[in-house]
Amino acid sequence: MGGRHGMSWSAKLATALLLFSCSISQANELVIAMPNWFSGRASANILKVALKNEFGLEAKVAEAGTLTAFAGLDAGTVDIHPEVWLPNLDNLVKKYVTDAKTVALSPVGVEAWQGMCATRAAADAGISDIADLNDPKKTAVLDTNDDGRGEIWIGAPAWSSTAIERIRANSYGYGKTVTLLDMQEDVGMAAVDAAAATASPLVFACYAPHAVFKLHDIVRLSEPSYDPAKWNILLPSEDPLWEQSSTAASAWDTARYHIAYATSLRDKHPEVVEFLDRVTFTPEEATEMSYALQVERQDPYDFAKQWVSKNAARIKEWAKP
Amino acid sequence: MNLTVHRCGSIKRIASLALAVSIALVAPASANTQVYDPQTRTWVDYGRTEAYRYYKKHGQVPEAFRRQIVRFRTAEQPGTIIIDGNQHFLYLVQPGQQAIRYGIGVGRDGFGWAGIVRVGRTAEWPTWTPPAEMVARDPNAAKWAGGQPGGPDNPLGARALYLYEGNQDTIYRIHGTPEPWTMGLDVSSGCIRMNNDDVIDLHSRVQVGAKVIVLMQGAALYKGV
């Protein structure tokens, strides 16, 4: 999941830093880094609108990758980042929050989830638990090329989560009974769209919050709870023999994401820090945000204005409890 | 582009299919598509022979492979093409969570690859130039070694949409065909074929630059573009 939420930006860091520093207007009192994924774009704009409404503060939303945003938070050119995913970004949190103490995380997190999902037709065909993938009779419905093995999309090639899904398939055993496919997310999601349109069975890697859960009737496969004793991951970047050396025969650990802000904000605007520490979105709201921007193609700022208007009382509570 | 031939021949059931009239199909052992016959309430094999007979009798392909508006919920924007070679459908995403669905014929071995490309250019009544190996083995192709002009007998049919990866031609096309009965079958040599009426309709609606997503289904041993 690291690749899904920011860590694949490293190659672009230098260029992005340059562009980013040039794009920040001195006229704005605060700078909010905006991620490229949809819920992050929505929440960055919601914070912008709320800061204006509650504190009269102008905030600029500036698109930035996670590494760029953290560098900005550290340097004081960025004040707020709306979505820092954990445990994916544990290394950055250690560097800037724990060690340098230039960045702080809101104590409130939005719970995230990742695992394997099935279309309703696949669930109706008997695939509802991860163990069902070990049964070739059940996974036969996922076979589209008549080689006797079902096919499952496990993520995009660049995602670290894709390597981990491969490890999980090997550890659970279904790596032997099904063919694991990796391909860009748009291809994986379009396959879900086409399967839903024809009520066809399909199993795929998924994560929430995500618009797919609002688009389609999706069943999350049940599986044994996260067990750190069974979770020993070495990524391809860490060990050439990662696939043989790793095990992960349990569900993923619960992920969360938090608002991050520069600790310098505590002196500049302590009222904003108190506000940020109270902001909370539900996973359902995050899915709604993704859906509104990604599927309905709403403008992030317009969406944010409406969201803030609808949730005025709640935002007041965050600002002045 | 890396290409790997993959095995094909899976049983492909065309869901929610309602044949307009009763059909009596003989099921050959090697059929790779099935269609639903509402009169007998059974899935029946749909191979080249059945397809030809059906078309000859009805003057059109079975209902499932005819152009139609379908409900299609997706995050992709209107104008995007999604190709499901396994079910032999091409979707053109429309506003309002709908799509125009066209029946397609795909390669004998499926499409052979999956990924995201774009419509790089289009052509009306395109010239077809057979590949060198086809010229060498097929006398009918040999006479067109210099290029067969566009027309009703041209294998590329009425329109061609040339699929590009970035600015590079992938050599794959979505094109028409003089053999309209082949929709729903794995018959061509790797491209996506459509009825001429359908490819003319698609061509009229598609912008150069449109995103084209080729699904992995039916192509498990694919290589990405």
Kindly name the residue from B8, B58, B88, B191 that is annotated as catalytic: B191
State mean pLDDT over B56-75: 92
Size (chain A), residues:
321
Identify whether residues A76 and A8 lie together within a single domain: yes
**What span, in angstroms and rounded, lies between the C-alpha atoms of B182 and A225?**
50
Kindly name the residue from B8, B88, B175, B203 that is annotated as catalytic: B175
Give, as one character, the DSSP assignment of residue A148.
S
Q: Which of A248, A265, A291 is the last residue of a domain?
A: A248
The pLDDT value given to residue A7: 46
Q: Which of A194, A229, A248 is the last residue of a domain?
A: A248
Identify whether residues A145 and A221 lie together within a single domain: yes
Interface test with B, best of A183, A204, A216 (most B CBs within 10 A): A183
Task: Give the domain extent around A49.
Answer: 3-112+255-319
Strands B106-107 and B98-103: unpaired
* Residue that the structure tokens 């960025």 belong to: A78
From chain B, pick out residues whose CB is under 8 angstroms from the CB of A145.
6-8, 10, 86, 110, 218-221
Identify whether residues A157 and A89 lie together within a single domain: no
Question: Residue A315 is part of a domain; what is its CATH number?
Answer: 3.40.190.10
Task: State the total domains in chain A.
Answer: 2
Q: Write the pLDDT tens digit of every residue in A219-244.
A: 999 999 999 999 988 878 778 899 88
State mean pLDDT over A3-19: 46
Identify whether residues A313 and A297 lie together within a single domain: yes
* Complex ipTM > 0.85: no
Q: In sequence order, what are the beta bridge partners of B84?
A: B89
Identify whether residues A190 and A237 lie together within a single domain: yes
Q: Report whether pLDDT(A55) > 90.
A: yes
**What span, in angstroms and rounded, lies between the C-alpha atoms of A43 and A107?**
17
Counting residues of chain B whose pLDDT is more than 90, the rounded percentage is 41
**What span, in angstroms and rounded, lies between the C-alpha atoms of A94 and A83?**
16
Question: Residue A163 is part of a domain; what is its CATH number?
Answer: 3.40.190.100
The answer for A 215-234 residues in CB contact with B (under 8 A) is 215-216
Q: What angle do CA A146, A148, A152 make, to 5 degrees?
A: 90
Q: Does the distance separating the beta carbons of B73 and A187 come in below 8 Å?
A: no
- Of the ranges A117-121, A145-149, B8-12, B42-46, which one carries the lowest mean pLDDT score? B8-12
Q: Does the distance separating the beta carbons of A153 and B116 come in below 8 Å?
A: no
Identify whether residues A157 and A241 lie together within a single domain: yes
Identify whether residues A131 and A29 lie together within a single domain: no
Identify whether residues A226 and A269 lie together within a single domain: no
Cβ of A295 under 8 Å from any chain B Cβ?
A: yes
State mean pLDDT over A99-125: 96
Band the pLDDT of B204: cuts 50, 70, 90: very high
Query: B109: which 2 tokens?
Result: 């071995």
Terminal Cα-to-Cα distance of chain A (whole angstroms):
35
Q: Which of A231, A248, A265 is the last residue of a domain?
A: A248
Q: Which residues contact A102 (CB under 8 A, 6 or more apart)?
A: A73, A74, A96, A262, A263, A264
The answer to whether the CB of A35 falls within 8 A of the CB of A90 is no
Identify whether residues A129 and A221 lie together within a single domain: yes
Identify whether residues A128 and A227 lie together within a single domain: yes
Identify whether residues A217 and A147 lie together within a single domain: yes
Query: A24: which 2 tokens?
Result: 């920040």
Cβ of B98 under 8 Å from any chain A Cβ?
A: no
Identify whether residues A276 and A240 lie together within a single domain: no
Nearest residue on chain A to B12, judged by CA atoms?
Answer: A144
In chain B, what are the domains? Answer: 66-218 (2.40.440.10)
* Catalytic residue list contains B175: yes
